[in-house]
Structure 1
Amino acid sequence: MKDRNKKIMLLTALVLLLGCIGEVPVEPPKKGFYENKPVVFSSSYDEVWEATTRAIKELNWDTKAVDKEKGIVEFMTSYVYNPSFNEYSRVYVEPSNDDIKNSRVKPYLRRISHFEKLTPPPAPPNPKFVKEKLKIKLKPLTSSETELQIDYRIMPYYDYKIGYLGTVKSNGYLEKKITSRIQEILMEKELIPPPPPLPTEQEYGLMDVFFDFDKYYIRPDAEPVLRENANVLKENPAINIVIEGYADTRGPTEYNLWLGQKRAEAVKEYLVNLGIEPFRITAVSRGETSQFASGTTEEAYQLNRRVRFIPIRVYREPGL
């Protein structure tokens, strides 16, 4: 009799326990966090950062935080349930957004309801939206390799799908699209041909001129050199020049910078008088910061008292 009563009590307890469980969801509630595997690009940090921000701008996402120094981009995306597709779709959820109020997309998540009594407290009361926070983290590995990590943080206790600018098809679609777009942008840069090499003095036959100690007047031996340089400029209208004035190491540094500038300006004035347009000539001073010869001999000093010509190609001539 006692054994029979024990069996009845055990069966009753089992029935009551099963009755308290309620409906079992098809899928367990998500934890609200996806950690995607990092992607390594064979490009510099600056290149990957530029490509990432460009890809985000193309998608018209509202960024919440952008910090290049820390390598972080954060923004919030939102989804509502679209009964006609039985999927989640990306929309903006600001209360003042009239487009949502008038939209055919209904602002509620029907599929969430069966989790509300089963998730640990506090369960979301009458959930309306799924909000997703996306964080992109960039980290330089080497000078030519950069790691990109995309993390999803989603409000817990929701049955959700991750979408991409429209009807959702599968988890992971978002990060695949953005990383593939970054790679496309990086490849576009690789296909751009490099600019032509900068011209040199030797390429155009430009020659330096020299000066006496503590002087900036044009010496007689410099005049034929400057006339020849002027002819080169007239024959090559596609180049401008930077005139660099130098001094030897005797005298204060500040004075030598001033002296180098006076030498460069004297050469510019001479060329302008020969018919070269002033806008094609930039006169700067290097003072004693760069030396063409070492030592304290008069020969070394003479080599360092000069004006140098740096050609700058302003546009590419046909055939160049």
Structure 2
Amino acid sequence: MKKKISLLLAVIMLICSLSASLVARADSSDYYQQRRQYNSQYIFEGGSFYGKNSYFFDNNKKKLFVKSSFTGTPTAVRSNIKCYEYNAINGNYIYYADPNGYLKKTSTTGKTMKTLIKNVYITNLMITDGKIFFSANGGKYTGFYKCDFDGKNIKRIGSEILHPCFSWKSNIYYFDYSANKFKKINAKTYKVSTVSFNTTLKNIDIIAMEGNILYIAKYSKSSVTFYKANVDTKKVTKYCESKYREGQFIAAGGNFYGNELRDDGYVYYYRFKSDGKRETVRKIEGYKVMFDSMGFYKNKIVTMKYDEGNPTFGYYTIATIA
């Protein structure tokens, strides 16, 4: 069942939006920008979401849909459109990679669509500081680049960054696996530098970022250890070590969350405690949910509903972030 659900995830996926009352805050808040960056990099082949609406792709139907509320009915706004894994939104446009090696943008109304860059095979995509940042491998481009919203002024910054990265105060933070070091890119000068914390961490994943705090997972053969790293003070704090190292992880509000599909057919969603044990916050029948689809919606951690043969593109709330 887990495999079946995971395969379905590759067809349709969803990222979160902010309510109309929070549009102004969403536009200016680093917290909300970081949540959109999480969604645009962790939730593949979905949509990018902003303002009062949620926008997402259905690659089977080759359509772009809009959903106007948490429980609203999705409406198609454009046909003959497919998204290949990565997309992000800024204002009235969704920027996305299509399967044929193009970076494109389409208006949120679906009325206009434009090719920005040709012969580019994107492996990561994010928006920050008024620019598009993307990784590419194949075609005309290989490495990590920036460009303007019209696709012009393309500049290669460095090597390809396959794993999610997040911005804070005009710096983009990521983990360089080839060097086993944390690094940052100045989003204005494009200078790349090493971030030296007070504790050396190797072979890790950055789960999320919230303000100036990186949420980190370090894996061993038998456990996972979670850390919080402050990019301003360079201080690393251990949160817990746990034997429960499988499933999807997400973090916010000072807490780490995970999920697990169990033999009883339910997907269990839980919060890690400081002693490494788990506290179940919700369980949902496995056939009703897309596994590995946790993301953000407003101030909530959510996961995507699924009704076999008739996707609902709805959400289940896992936790509310303080």
Structure 1 or 2, whichever has the larger Rg, is 1
Larger relative contact order, structure 1 or 2 (CA cutoff 8 Å, min sep 6): 1
Q: Which has the larger helix fraction? A: 1
Q: Which has the larger strand fraction? A: 2
Task: Say yes or no: TM over 0.5.
Answer: no
TM, length-normalised to structure 2: 0.19
